Amino acid sequence: MLKTCNVCNATKEHASWKSTTCNDCLSKGLKYCSRCNKTLALGDFYLCRGKPMGMCKACEKKRSQQGKIDSGYLDRPEVIAKRNLSSKINKRKVYQDPIRRRQIYDRHNERLRERYKQDANYKEKVIASNRAYKEGLVGTLTAEEWQNTLEHFNNQCAYCGAETKLCREHVVPISKKGLNETQNVVPACISCNSSKKDKDMLEWYKETKFFSEARLAKIMEWKGGASRAPKRS
């Protein structure tokens, strides 16, 4: 179906009349959030029946939380405790059944396969991770070293300073022979991690306005290298 894409603003083929993102942009791993009106990586969206939902994960969480507030659910701790206990008991029963356990395992793998097909960023990470595993680069960063890294960057994204869920980001990508060691790993938010992908950090710095010279200097200090920033165009 032909519609105007909210990502590239071109009239292109869409999967359905509800879709706000064209098939071409989806194949590149990009999608438009119908609530916050931002273009994000597919990894920032939950999947429903193998397809990304209309709202991003952050907006879905806000909507869910607001629903709990509006319904008064959060004001009833005894109801929450009872529900959590019931959920824990049911989950234990499911995992004690080998047939049900296998069904869950197969469903999970199917979702990962669908994401691998649709999310270009996720596919790149899987390929790089597999390559690193084969080359013996995985597992060299300890939990204590990661905690020290988080403390050095004040539990903020090393690139933009966001105080949100952080992941391990390799300054020199593993796909480009970067190592999984302390000096090459910094905390990054999902947005910066998706934007940088496998780019060279200094090249990405020159094209990224929110990545400040001070933050670059702090990363270079962590790496033990020079802190002089390249000129932006």
Q: Is the pLDDT of residue 137 over 80?
A: no
- Other residues' Cβ atoms within 10 Å of the Cβ of residue 91: 11
Contact in structure between 56 and 42 (CB atoms under 8 Å):
no
For the chain, the domains span: 2-65, 143-224
**Span 97-108, pLDDT tens digits:** 888 888 888 888
Output the pLDDT for position 36: 94
DSSP assignment string, 92-157: HHHHHSHHHHHHHHHHHHHHHHHHHHH-HHHHHHHHHHHHHHHTT-TT-S-HHHHHHHHHHTTTS-
**Span 21-55, pLDDT tens digits:** 998 888 888 899 999 999 998 888 888 876 788 99
**Span 180-198, pLDDT tens digits:** 888 889 999 988 888 888 8
pTM, entire model: 0.44
Report the distance separating Cα 64 and Cα 51, nearest Å.
Answer: 20
Q: Is the pLDDT of residue 131 over 80?
A: no
Q: Is the pLDDT of residue 82 over 90?
A: no
Contact in structure between 63 and 55 (CB atoms under 8 Å):
yes
The CATH number for 143-224, chosen from 3.90.660, 4.10.1250, 3.10.450, 1.10.30, is: 1.10.30
Residue corresponding to tokens 């390799």: 170
What share of the chain in percent tops pLDDT 70?
92
Q: Is the pLDDT of residue 139 over 70?
A: no
Output the pLDDT for position 38: 93
Output the pLDDT for position 132: 65
Output the pLDDT for position 46: 87
Q: What is the mean pLDDT of the chain?
A: 84
Residue type, 112: L
Name the packing angle between helices 77-96 and 98-118 (round to 10°): 100
pLDDT interval class at 138 (50, 70, 90): low
- Reading the block at residue 56, the tokens are 């991003």
**Span 150-176, pLDDT tens digits:** 999 999 999 998 888 898 898 988 777
Q: Is the pLDDT of residue 66 over 80?
A: yes
